[in-house]
Amino acid sequence: MPTSITLKNVPDEIYARLREVAETHHRSINNEVIACLERVLLPSRVPASEHLARARALRKGLKNRKFSAKDIAQAIEQDRR
């Protein structure tokens, strides 16, 4: 059975951001708060087998490419720009 709670002393900047996000998602502020709580408190669990399958797919996509330390450093530097 759903329960009601009241939030007090919510900082103005948090409330403003919550209102913006709620509008973006076409939700009431109450429903946005519930969605945020669900996302944080009830994270979906991904089985280890799925993580492994994703890693294998990524590795297969690289097709035995070799990366040098220089290649990696350049990629990191490009991402920082």
pLDDT-based confidence at residue 81 (cuts at 50, 70, 90):
low
Give dist(CA 68, CA 47) in Å, integer: 32
Give dist(CA 78, CA 69) in Å, integer: 14
Q: Which of 1-5, 25-29, 65-69 is the most confident on average?
A: 25-29
pTM of the model as a whole = 0.53
Q: What is the mean pLDDT of the chain?
A: 90
Contact call for residues 63 and 53 (beta carbons, < 8 A)? no
pLDDT in tens, 33-60: 999 999 889 878 888 899 899 999 988 8
What pLDDT was estimated at residue 60? 87
